[in-house]
A and B are shown apart, each in its own frame.
Chain A
Amino acid sequence: MKHTIKWVALLLSALLLFSMTGCTLVIEEEVVSTRVIEPSTSSTATTTTTTAATDTDGSTVTSDATGTQTKATTTTRKPAETRTEPKLSGKLELQIFTNESQTADGGWTNVINAFEDATGISVNAQIGSSVNTMMSKRWQKGDPPDMIWLDGSGIPDQQYEKAGSFYDLSKLFNDGYVYGTTDKIKDVVDNNLVQKNGGKIYRLPVLSTAGGMWYDARFMSNNGFSVPQNFDQLMALGAQAKAKGYSTMTYTGIYSSYALSNVIAPAVAAYGQSYFDQFLSGSAAAVKDARFKKVMQKFADFCRTDGYLMEGSTTMDHTSTQQRWINHATLLIANGLWLPDETRKLWSQKSFDMAWAPSPLIDADQKQTVAISGKNVAVATKAKNLDNALAFVRFLYRDEAQNWLMYSYGYMGVRTDMKFDTDAFVKAAGGTDAAKATATALDYINGNKVNRVYWNESWGTLGDEIALEINELAMKGGKSVDEAIDRLASVAPKK
C-alpha cells in the first residue's frame, strides 16, 4: 500500500515537473502594454507650409504649391503636386491597436512624427495590444479618442457604428484631398475597399490585406512536394506527404476564423464578387447555395482524410500550430500576411524559406483567388479634435505614410496609383527574411496569377457561426456538411 502510494505520488510529481519543463519551451510570453508616444520634435519626412485657409477636409484647393519632401517610397509614379493646407493646432488623440510582435509601432511612430512636423499638432497616441480593452470604457462614457484604428479584438465596431459613434466620412472621402497634395482621396484610393452603410461611409481603408497559406519553399522543394493550386493537387499532396510521414495542413482550431478567412472565404470568393457579396450579406439562400456547400465539402474531405490535417489542429491555438509548422510537422498553414513577422523569432535561426500561396480549395478550372479586405480607421463623432482627426486621416494616404504602414504591417496599401515594388519594399522594411517573405506574398497577390475579389462587408455573427462549423467539419465523426449548412442557414438571417 505504502509503496503504491509513493509510486503514484512520484509519477504525478514527475509528470507535473516534466510537463512544466516542456511548457517553458513553448510559451512565448505575450507582451501586453500600452504606451503613449510623446510628441516628437524630430523631422523625418514631410514639411508642408500651412498658410492658406481651406476647409479641414481639404476640399478647397489652393493654388500655391509648397515644397513637400517625401522619403522612401515604393511608388513608381511621379510625385503628387503639393497644395497648401489650412493651419491647424492643438491636440489629437489616437487609439491604435498593434500586436507588439509586429513592427507596426515603428510605422505608426513615423507617420505620427511626420504629421506632427507637418502640422504642429501634438499627437497623443494610445498604442498597444491592450488598448482596445482599455479604451472601451471611454467610448461607453462618450469620451472617445479622436480617431481609432479598427484592428485587433475588443472593438465592438459594428455596435459603435450602429450607435452613431463614428463620424460620417463620406464628404471627406468624396471631396477631400490627400494631405498636402492635389490628389483627391476618392480618385487615388481603391473604391472597392470602402465599406458603405446606408450609402454613408463611417470607416475608411488605410491598408489592405488578404489571406492564404504559408509554406517553407525549401523544405517543399527538397522533399519533391509541389505547392497545390487547386483541390485535386491538395489531395494529391496529402497522399504524397502522408507517405513521407508529414501532415499537409494545419489551421488554428481554437480560433477557427483563421481557416475561414484564409482558405474558405477565398475559395467562396473564387465564384465571383457577386456571389461573395451575397454570401457576406448573410442571406440564407447564399449559405445554402451549392457553391458554398462545395467549398465546405472540400474542406471536410481534406480534413477527414486520415493524416492530411495535422493532428490536434482543431483545439490548438495559433502559437502551437505555428510552432509545429515551423518544425515541419506539417507543410501548409492557413494564416494572414502577418505570419512572417509574428513568427520571425521562431524561424529566423532555421533554414527556412517562407513563401505564400492562395487557398487551394478550388476546382482545377477555377482561377486562384484572393479576398482583399481593408484595414480601416474611423473618427469619433464626439471627437474633441475633429478637424485634426480628419487631417490625420487624409495624411494617412500620403505616399510616405502608406509606405511606412505597409512596411511595418506587411500589408498592402490602398492607393491604386502606387505600384508595388518588391525590392523597394524589402529594402524599406529592413531587408529582413520576414520582409522578403511578406514581399513575395504581396507580389503574388498583386500579380496576374490571381483574381482579386473584395471583402468589403462584415458578415457579423455569421462569421462566428461558420467558424464553429469549421471545426465540426474538420473532425472525423463530426457533423455532415448538410447538417452544418442547415444550421448556418437557420442562423444566417439573424446576422
Chain B
Amino acid sequence: MSTLKKRKKGLTRSQKGFLWALGVPTFLLYIYICIVPMLSSVMDSLYQWDGYGDKTWVGLQNYAEIFVDPVFHTSIINDILIVLFKELIIVFLATAFAVSLTRVKFAKAESGIYRFLFYLPNILSVIVITRVWKFVFELGLFDSILQIFGINWASPNGWLADYPLPIIIFVASWCGIGSYMIIMISAINNISKEIYEAADIDGAGQFRQLFSITLPTILPQVRYMIVSILTSSLAANLNLVLPFTGGGPGTRSYVMGYYVYNAAYTDFEVGYANAAALLLMLISVVLAGTVNTLVARGEEK
C-alpha cells in the first residue's frame, strides 16, 4: 500500500536517477551541438563579417538585402518546385513499385533483383550519381535514347543548360524512390492476407483491392513519406545542385542551400550567409509544419 502511494507521488529515486543520468548529458549535448551554433548563427547574422576579420554590426541589414535579392527569390522558387515534383513523383512511383513488387506475382528472385536495383541509387554517393547522369545528358546518351523512340528533340544549349531544374528533379526523385519503396513494401506486407482473400471471395478486383484496402492502410507511411521528402529535400538539394550545375547556368538552378553556400564560401560574406541560413531554416520549419498539419487533417478525414 505504501509502495503504491509512493508510486502515485511520482518517480522512484532509482527512476529519477536513471532519467537524470540519461537526460542531462543528452540535453547538454543537444544544447552544445544544436542550440549554441544556432544562437551563434543568429548573432553572426546581425554583423557584416567575412568569417575571418573583425565584425561590423549591421543589425537587420543582411535580412533586408536578402529579401530584395532576386537570386534568393529564384532559390526559394526552385526549392519549392523541386520539393513539389519530388513529392508527386516519389509518392506515386514508390507506392506503385511497392504495390507491384508485393501484389503482382513476381518470382522471389525476380522481386529481389528489382528491389536491389531500385534501392541501388540510395547506396551510391551523390558524386557518382551526378557523374552518371551528367554523362547521360551531356554526352548524347539521352539523345540516343530519344532517337530509339523516334524522338528528335533538339536542346539548343544542351539538356542540362536548358532544363536544369527538371533534370535535377528527375535525378533527385530517382535517388529517393528506392528507400521509400522499401518502407511501402514493409507497410503493405503488414496488411493481413486474410483481408485480401476475403476481398477476392467478394469478387473485388485488383484495382478495387488497391484503392479500398492497400492505400487506406498505408496512409500513415504515405504521410511520413511526404513530410520526410519535404524536410530532407530542403536540406539536401544543395548536394545535387553543387556538383550537377553549380547553380547554373547563371542562377537558374540556385537553391537556398546553394545560395547560403555561395555567400559563405565563395563570397566570404559569412554574416550574410548566416542570415540566409536562418531564413532557410525558418522557411523549412513553416513548410514542414504546414504540410504535416494538412496531411494529418486529410488522414483524419
Report which A residues bind B (CB closer than 8 A). 1-2, 5, 9, 12-13, 15-16, 18-20, 22-23, 26-27, 139-140, 156, 158-160, 162-163, 165, 253-256, 306, 311-317, 320, 324, 461, 464, 468-469, 471-472, 474-479
Contacts and interface: CB of A to CB of B under 8 A. Distances in A.
28 contacts: A1-B104, A9-B97, A9-B114, A12-B118, A16-B120, A19-B132, A19-B133, A19-B136, A19-B141, A20-B132, A22-B136, A27-B131, A156-B50, A159-B51, A159-B53, A253-B161, A254-B246, A312-B138, A312-B160, A313-B158, A313-B161, A315-B244, A316-B138, A320-B138, A468-B251, A472-B250, A474-B157, A476-B157
Contacts of B164: 315
Nearest to B250: A472
B88 interface: no
A315 B160 contact: yes
A314 B161 contact: yes
B249 A314 contact: yes
B113 to A, nearest CB: 8
B158 A472 contact: no
Chain B contact residues (Cβ within 8 angstroms of A): what range?
35 or more
Interface in B117-165: 117-118, 120-121, 128, 131-139, 141, 145, 155-161, 164
Contacts of A468: 248, 250-251
Contacts of A479: 250
Contacts of B100: 2, 5
A311 B142 CA distance: 14
B52 A19 contact: no
Contacts of A13: 114, 117
A461 B268 CA distance: 9
A300 to B, nearest CB: 13
Given A16-B120, A156-B50, A474-B249, A23 B156 contact: no
B266 interface: yes
Contact of B54 (A23, A163, A306, A316): A163
A474 B104 CA distance: 50
Nearest to A11: B145
A311 B138 CA distance: 8
B248 A315 contact: yes
B156 A477 contact: yes
A15 B137 CA distance: 12
B245 interface: yes
B197 interface: no
Contacts of A159: 50-53, 268
A324 B118 CA distance: 31
Which 4 residue pairs spanning A and B have beta carbons closest together?
Answer: A312-B158, A163-B53, A315-B160, A471-B249
B174 to A, nearest CB: 8
Given A2-B104, A306-B156, A477-B156, A315 B131 contact: no
B19 to A, nearest CB: 38
A139 B268 CA distance: 15
A464 B267 CA distance: 8
A475 B251 contact: no
Given A312-B158, A476-B157, A5 B135 contact: no
A371 B234 CA distance: 42
A471 B158 CA distance: 13
Interface of B: 50-54, 97, 100, 104-106, 114, 117-118, 120-121, 128, 131-139, 141, 145, 155-161, 164, 206, 244-246, 248-251, 266-268
Contact of A320 (B53, B105, B134, B157): B134
Nearest to A160: B52
A22 B104 contact: no
A324 B161 CA distance: 17
Nearest to A1: B104
B249 A472 contact: yes
B61 to A, nearest CB: 13
B216 to A, nearest CB: 21
Contact of B248 (A2, A22, A254): A254
Contact of B117 (A12, A254, A316): A12
Contact of B104 (A5, A158, A315, A472): A5
B149 to A, nearest CB: 11
Contacts of A20: 128, 132
A254 B245 contact: yes
Nearest to B99: A5
A458 B287 CA distance: 41
Contact of A475 (B53, B105, B246, B249): B249
A315 B245 contact: yes
A162 B50 contact: yes
B248 A256 contact: yes
Contacts of A469: 250
A471 B251 CA distance: 9
A22 B251 CA distance: 29
Contacts of A471: 248-250
A132 to B, nearest CB: 12
Given A19-B136, A140-B52, A468-B250, 17 more contacts: A1-B104, A5-B100, A12-B117, A19-B132, A22-B139, A156-B50, A163-B50, A311-B157, A312-B137, A313-B158, A315-B138, A315-B158, A468-B248, A471-B249, A472-B249, A477-B157, A479-B250
B249 A16 contact: no
Contacts of A12: 117-118
A139 B156 CA distance: 46
